[in-house]
């Protein structure tokens, strides 16, 4: 039971190293924050 839960909850990410993950996360957060600033002007 415990092994089955662990296998279904562990996710693998396709990054070669930690820096790629950081770069992707930074790009995502930049886009998210930019879109968040635009939202009040659209409504």
Given this model, what pLDDT does residue 3 score? Answer: 64
CA distance 19 to 16: 8
Query: Residue 40 corresponds to which tokens in the numbers above?
Result: 């009040």
Say yes or no to pLDDT of 1 above 60: no
pLDDT at 6 exceeding the cut of 60:
yes
DSSP count for the chain of H helices, then E strands: 2, 0
CA distance 24 to 6: 26
pLDDT score at 30: 95
Retrieve residue 28's tokens.
Answer: 């995502």
**pTM of the predicted model over 0.95:** no
According to the model, what pLDDT value does residue 11 have?
A: 66
What pLDDT digit, counting tens, does each position of 8-42 carry?
Answer: 666 677 889 999 999 999 999 999 999 888 877 66
């Amino acid at each position: 039971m415990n092994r089955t839960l662990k296998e279904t909850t562990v996710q693998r990410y396709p990054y070669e190293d930690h820096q790629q993950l950081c770069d992707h996360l930074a790009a995502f957060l930049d886009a998210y924050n930019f879109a968040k600033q635009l939202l009040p002007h659209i409504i």
